[in-house]
Structure 1
Amino acid sequence: MPRPFDRSKKRLAVPLWYERTLALILLANYGLVLFDLTYIPLRDFWLQGTVQLSVKVGPFHRVFPKQPVRIFPFNITPYYDWVKGIEPYRSTTAYLELVDELNSKLDEQALDGAGNVQQAQEIDNILAELRQDSAQMIIENPFQIANKTGTFERIKNRMRLHVFGSTDASATESFETFWSKEYLLKNGLTSQLLFFDREIRPLIATNYFREIGENGQPVDNFGLIDFPFFLIFLVDFLGRTRLISLRYRGISWVDAMLWRWYDLFLFLPFFRWLRIIPLTVRLDKAKLMDLNKVKGQATQGFVAIIAEDMTEVIVVRLVEQMQQLVREGALRKILDRAKTTQYIDLNNRNELVEIIRIVSQVLLQKVLPEVEPEVQDFMLYNMQSSLGQIQGYTQLQSLPGVKNMQREMMANMIAIFYQRILTILQSFLEQDKEFERLLENLLTKLTTELNLELNQQHHLEDIEELLIDFLEEFKINYLQKLSEADIERILGNTAI
């Protein structure tokens, strides 16, 4: 057993500033872990920094707001993509570069052939290449590798709606029409390129290629970032556990490591989100967060989970044990206590006699004297009611002074009778060995005769059977229907 803290070793205690420093380092590390875990699902946001809500229920489809709202001003993907082994997808990147090349050379005069012939030919070649690359993109679906097929469907639907006004049109024909000279001239060059830059380009730009490592899993270099934190936590863990083994006699270094079991989550290269466990413990110990209420709720929730089953099992087991005792003849042994040789008497006293004596003392010395007025009123009322049924009594009460005199006489009689009976009964409760002997003989004779008569008439077997059935019904109807709400109510009234 670990001994209490030795005051001579206060110098071994961990200072509060150190606790807080390590807690803040762990908090920063956990924030980085959460960022890494959510980076792939939220990469579109980190790439563009915009938010737009799309709601689609059956035929109903709305986007709020119409234009994405920028809430994050920086593009951090060039700095973090290498951690996840992300590279630009070649075909989609080349597609956007080809559109940029078209933007740099395109104008109204070159598009309708009124300008430089060589420039017009280059524009025709770019448009033809865009139509060809669009058709190839639709066939190959380069977004599938990045698990962005849904994004690709949004691109095709937006192009269908823009060109033909319906999502049922052909995506290939939509792109082919959009990148045609006739369509661009007819619908306005500037507005069409603006539509592409606002609606199509951001979706295509979200596509990427992620490398696959030799282990068959996508490349993940987060361990390189996490390694410095790993070293800090490892040194801290070894130091703390060594300190525990020095502070407490009988605790080895390995035992101290088991004592700090929650810190082991800091060294797992997987399930890093479980570091929330040591983080909450560290923040609590560093007094940067008060977790008393959280602890209480967690404890109460845990207790509530098991209390219902445990309560039902324990109480049902108790009832079944009572049924088994009845089957084994416990009721017969109780009734035949005086004759049985297997009954164990711990104090050589008849507990039933003592219980009767104690209850009688309290009843006669404390309770009955206090309720004397109520008893007198009750008896007086009943006597008057009984006398009222006698013929001629009512006429007798009509005489002057008879009614009050009769009431006073009956009240005095009742008071004298009540005091006499109370005095006699109290005298019986004095330490009288003969009284105890006679009372014990009376109880013994009573139980013996009751047991004899029940056995002769075979009533005892019926009572045992009925008692067993009653316990079974009680178990089914009440004990096995303990609800979780009852447990929650009980725990809510209990301080945990």
Structure 2
Amino acid sequence: MAIIAAINLGFVLFDLSYVPWRTFYFRNLPKLTQVYDPVKGIEPHRDTQNYLQVVNRLQNQISNTGLQSSQVKATLEDLKNLSVEMIEENPFASASKSGTLEKIKNRMRAHIGDDSAKEAFRIFWSQEYLSKQSFTKEIGFFARNIKPLIASNYYRRIGENGEYIDRFWLYDLPIVLLFTLDLIVRSYFIKRRHSSFSWLNAILWHWYDAIFLIPAWRWLRIIPVAFRLDKAQLLKLHGLRRQIEQGIVANFAEEITQMVVIRVIDQTQQSIHNGDLTRWLKQSRSVNTYVDINNINEIEAISGIVVKATVHQVLPKIQPEIVALLRHSIDSALNQSPIYRNLHSLPGMGEMQTQLSEKLATEITTNLHKALVSAVEDPVAAQLSSRLIQRFGESLGDEIQRKKILTEIQSLLFDFLEEVKINYVQRLSQEDMEQILEKTRQLKNQVSVPAVVKQNSTLVEMRKIK
């Protein structure tokens, strides 16, 4: 089916190019135009066709009766009149080939050396001129330079619907019916495999094949043809598909990220504007819209866990480092004292300094650790600490709730969030989302490569065991 689709696409592209490139096909593949002209409703234009028939009659008359006969004279007069009519009526306009007529006029003017195309044709089709210049030579010029341009003109018939006749659909109909049947059969099996799918969902599974059913814009068939050739591994489109997907995802990622961030900032600004900051400071749970699902202050609980872990597990492990730091600090402080510098010169003072610093640092660290352990394990100390923190928060909240301070804080927060929103969106727009996606893909590849290597190693080991 992929090969058939590709052949059909080539036929479609040829049909689309036929009318614009008919002159090329007419000059290089004349038998092709004889076969395909009826498909597009094209037939020779009667005026230009009659002109060439009169020229052929002239040649036959000269061969039979000579150039100076009365029959030849009458035929030359007919050609003069037909030349003037061709220039004035422009039979090439209906086929959008007025440029061809201009070529004919320019070539005849250049050949005769007259600025008037009508006069140039009158001179060319005269017994005096043809006798003087040699009829064989002049008719050869006409056959090489003028006749092919006149013969390329055509008339395209118009149907009763007011559009140009185009019978291509008759030749395309069997292909459309074939791919329609293929789409129905494939959708049927997809629907059987996925019972929850509707017929529409099953058809959309291969949405690109539906393009074959569109009577217009047949050039869009390049999409299903590309998909089919890629699936049949006749065309490598992985890189192109990755670039297209990356571009689409990058656009969506940028838009969605902007929407989410701006929405969060707007919601925060709206909360500040509605006075949620004031209600939060007042700790009024009756009017607070914040939902508590477990009646636990999570921040307080997390802080307690962190403090206990720090006091009981972390500090004992880092006690040697703390002692070394304190000892260094004590030594530095003693060395800066003028009195100690004078005593340092006495025998034994250096060793005594080291012992003193070591003992003092150890005592400070041990006592500090014991104090922290006692504070954590002592319920009275914990209650006093909690009361201190609570009182500090209440006092700070009462002070902030003063109208002047609260208004100033709300205004500054609102402006700060607005600045964040503007600067973030601007920075996000300047960032290359495709670079971010490329980095993500590289990270995925780095993760997948070791997995593949490990899997291959396992297979090799299993083969060895066998």
TM-score normalised according to structure 2 size: 0.78
Contact 1:312 1:479 in 2 (8 A): yes
Q: Take 1:472 and 1:142, find their aligned partners in 2: how far apart are those partners? A: 69
Q: Take 1:385 and 1:185, find their aligned partners in 2: how far apart are those partners? A: 127
User: Given the alignment of the two structures, is residue 176 of structure 1 paired with residue 125 of structure 2, yes or no?
Assistant: no
Matches within 5 A, 1:318-329: 318-329=264-275
Matches within 5 A, 1:115-154: 120-154=69-103
Give the secondary-structure state (helix, strand or coil) at the position aligned to 2:11: helix
Q: Take 1:79 and 1:210, find their aligned partners in 2: how far apart are those partners? A: 15
Equivalent residue, structure 2, for 1:239: 185
Q: Take 1:397 and 1:186, find their aligned partners in 2: how far apart are those partners? A: 137
Contact 1:380 1:414 in 2 (8 A): no
Q: Which runs of 5+ in 1 are unaligned?
A: 1-21, 50-72, 111-115
Q: CA deviation at 1:403?
A: 11
Which of 23, 34, 59 in structure 1 is aligned with 2:13?
34
Alignment length (residue pairs): 440
Q: 1:435 to 1:273 in 2, by over 3 A?
A: farther
Q: CA deviation at 1:409?
A: 6.6
Q: 1:489 to 1:255 in 2, by over 3 A?
A: closer
Instruction: Look up the equivalent residue of 1:353 and give its one-letter code.
Output: E
Q: CA deviation at 1:472?
A: 1.7
User: Given the alignment of the two structures, is residue 97 of structure 1 paired with residue 53 of structure 2, yes or no?
Assistant: yes
Q: CA deviation at 1:82?
A: 0.5
Q: Take 2:306 and 2:190, find their aligned partners in 1: how far apart are those partners? A: 58
Q: Take 2:331 and 2:403, find their aligned partners in 1: how far apart are those partners? A: 42
Q: Take 1:241 and 1:273, find their aligned partners in 2: how far apart are those partners? A: 24
Q: Take 1:35 and 1:267, find their aligned partners in 2: how far apart are those partners? A: 19
User: Given the alignment of the two structures, is residue 271 of structure 1 paired with residue 271 of structure 2, yes or no?
Assistant: no
Instruction: Look up the equivalent residue of 2:292 and give its one-letter code.
Output: D
Q: Take 2:344 and 2:147, find their aligned partners in 1: how far apart are those partners? A: 114
Contact 2:281 2:401 in 1 (8 A): no
Give the secondary-structure state (helix, strand or coil) at the position aligned to 2:43: strand
Q: Take 1:37 and 1:214, find their aligned partners in 2: how far apart are those partners? A: 22
User: Given the alignment of the two structures, is residue 483 of structure 1 paired with residue 429 of structure 2, yes or no?
Assistant: yes
Q: CA deviation at 1:438?
A: 3.8
User: Given the alignment of the two structures, is residue 158 of structure 1 paired with residue 107 of structure 2, yes or no?
Assistant: yes
Contact 2:344 2:350 in 1 (8 A): no
Instruction: Look up the equivalent residue of 1:315 and give its one-letter code.
Output: V
Q: 1:307 to 1:189 in 2, by over 3 A?
A: farther
Q: Take 1:220 and 1:463, find their aligned partners in 2: how far apart are those partners? A: 75
Q: Take 1:374 and 1:183, find their aligned partners in 2: how far apart are those partners? A: 119
Q: CA deviation at 1:47?
A: 1.2
Kindly report the root-mean-square deviation, in angstroms, between the aligned alpha carbons of the 2 structures.
4.0
Q: CA deviation at 1:471?
A: 1.1
Q: Take 1:455 and 1:298, find their aligned partners in 2: how far apart are those partners? A: 55
Q: 1:47 to 1:382 in 2, by over 3 A?
A: farther
Residue by residue, what CA displacement relative to the aligned partner does 1:158-181 show, whole Å, maximum 9, x if unpaired? 33334338xxx3222233333344
Contact 2:26 2:152 in 1 (8 A): yes
Q: CA deviation at 1:90?
A: 1.3
Bigger helix share? 2
Which region of structure 1 is more displaced relative to structure 2, 275-284 or 144-153? 275-284
Equivalent residue, structure 1, for 2:389: 443
Q: Take 1:185 and 1:362, find their aligned partners in 2: how far apart are those partners? A: 120
Which region of structure 1 is more displaced relative to structure 2, 75-84 or 176-185? 176-185
Q: CA deviation at 1:318?
A: 1.3
Equivalent residue, structure 2, for 1:13: none
Give the secondary-structure state (helix, strand or coil) at the position aligned to 2:155: strand
Q: Take 2:17 and 2:116, find their aligned partners in 1: how far apart are those partners? A: 35
Q: CA deviation at 1:194?
A: 4.1
Give the secondary-structure state (helix, strand or coil) at the position aligned to 1:87: strand
Q: Take 2:130 and 2:210, find their aligned partners in 1: how far apart are those partners? A: 63
Give the secondary-structure state (helix, strand or coil) at the position aligned to 1:482: helix
Contact 2:212 2:218 in 1 (8 A): yes
Q: Take 1:224 and 1:429, find their aligned partners in 2: how far apart are those partners? A: 94
Q: 1:118 to 1:173 in 2, by over 3 A?
A: closer
User: Given the alignment of the two structures, is residue 354 of structure 1 paired with residue 301 of structure 2, yes or no?
Assistant: yes
Q: Take 1:397 and 1:476, find their aligned partners in 2: how far apart are those partners? A: 65
Residue by residue, what CA displacement relative to the aligned partner does 1:22-50 show, whole Å, maximum 9, x if unpaired? 2222222222112111211111121113x
Q: Which runs of 5+ in 2 are unaligned?
A: 445-466
TM-score normalised according to structure 1 size: 0.74
Q: Take 1:306 and 1:474, find their aligned partners in 2: how far apart are those partners? A: 21
